[in-house]
Amino acid sequence: MLLLPLLLSISAPARAADSFDEAAWYAQTCVACHGAAGKGDGPAAAALTPKPANFTDAAFWAARTDDVVKKAIKEGGPAVGKSPIMAPLGAGLTDGQLTEVVAYLKTFKGKK
């Protein structure tokens, strides 16, 4: 019976990770700059130089690996040679959650 609390304490963080909603996280954390449709045209974008990345642009995805995209989100723009305006917003995410975020960003690819 000692096992039960132990198992619960192990499975609780796993459940929390599974309930991570990358679309909601994007809406909350990224939309102001990257825009609701991922075009890099959020309300804050007009004032920024360089402009936020446009995730609908196939050339953006052709020019970098998923690992570089994950690194930019986790460690910020400077970690991949980009602007510090892109902050390390994903620093608190697990690798699995970062993978989910990248998959979500790719849903914008090729959209108008």
Binding site for ligand HEC (CB under 6 A): 29-30, 32-34, 44, 48, 50, 52-53, 64, 68-69, 72-73, 77, 80, 82-83, 85-86, 89-90, 101
Q: How far is the CB of 69 from ligand HEC (least distance, A)?
A: 4
Nearer to ligand HEC, 13 or 43 (CB): 43
Quick check: 63 and 53 in contact, CB under 8 A? no
Residue sitting closest to ligand HEC (CB): 30
What backbone torsions phi and psi does residue 75 show, to the nearest 5 degrees? Answer: -110, -10
Query: In this structure, what token pair is assigned to residue 85?
Result: 């305006």
What is each CA distance from 89 to 28, 75, 77, 99, in whole angstroms? 11, 8, 10, 14
Secondary structure letter of residue 90 according to DSSP: T
Q: How far is the CB of 106 from ligand HEC (least distance, A)?
A: 11
Nearer to ligand HEC, 10 or 62 (CB): 62
Q: How far is the CB of 17 from ligand HEC (least distance, A)?
A: 17
Residue type, 17: A
